[in-house]
Copies of this chain bind each other. A is one copy, B any other.
Amino acid sequence: MKYSDRQLAEMLTGAGVRPSLHRLAVLSTIANDRCHPSADDLYRRISEQYPGVSRTTVYNSLHALVDAGLVKELKLERGVSHFDFLLQPPHGHFICSHCGRIFDMGLPPELADSADPGFRIDAIDLNFKGICPDCLAKQQ
């Protein structure tokens, strides 16, 4: 499923964020490629489309999108954040130790209930680590 720039622009205005060219480019890359890019990945991708864009602009855009609730920041490894589109059922992630790719994984439906009583659960991060099918096939 691909989101048109018009759809994405509407999401932005709907969330009270002005749909500037750069913000739209950042959101479109996150929403349509679903590759969980880091800020630097995004900077390089956006640079191809808009040469001369500032790294700070990419960070600014990301903050705006995260604050607007359209994008989720994933803290999977120390030091680097990755970014995921939020318009879809909640899901976890799988990080392949071999190729580094990040895959979406379904969340067990009653996971929130497994927390101790008395805690108010607002968000769940579930991350698997291991080897993805592609790398398993290549390995042996």
Is A131 within 8 A of B108, CB to CB? Answer: no
Interface: A87 (CB within 8 A) = no
Q: Are A126 and B129 in touch, CB under 8 angstroms?
A: no
Chain A, range 90-130, C-beta contacts under 8 Å to B? 94, 97, 103, 105-108, 111-112, 114-116, 118-130
A76 interfacial contact with B, CB 8 Å: yes
Counting every copy of the chain, the complex holds 2
Asked if A79 lies at the interface with its beta carbon under 8 angstroms from chain B, I say yes
| Residue from A112, A121, A125 with most neighbouring chain B CB atoms (10 Å) | A125
For A133, give the chain B residue with the smallest CB separation. B118
| CB contact under 8 A between A121 and B128, given known A73-B78, A75-B77, A77-B75 | yes
Minimum CB–CB distance from A82 to chain B (whole Å) comes to 10
Q: Is the CB of B119 within 8 A of A94?
A: yes
Known A-B contacts A75-B76, A78-B81, A108-B108; A130 and B126 likewise in contact (beta carbons under 8 Å) = no
Contact of A124 with B126 at beta-carbon distance under 8 Å, contacts A78-B73, A106-B114, A114-B108 already known: yes
Beyond contacts A105-B115, A107-B114: 4 other A-B pairs, Cβ-Cβ < 8 A, are A97-B122, A103-B116, A118-B136, A125-B129
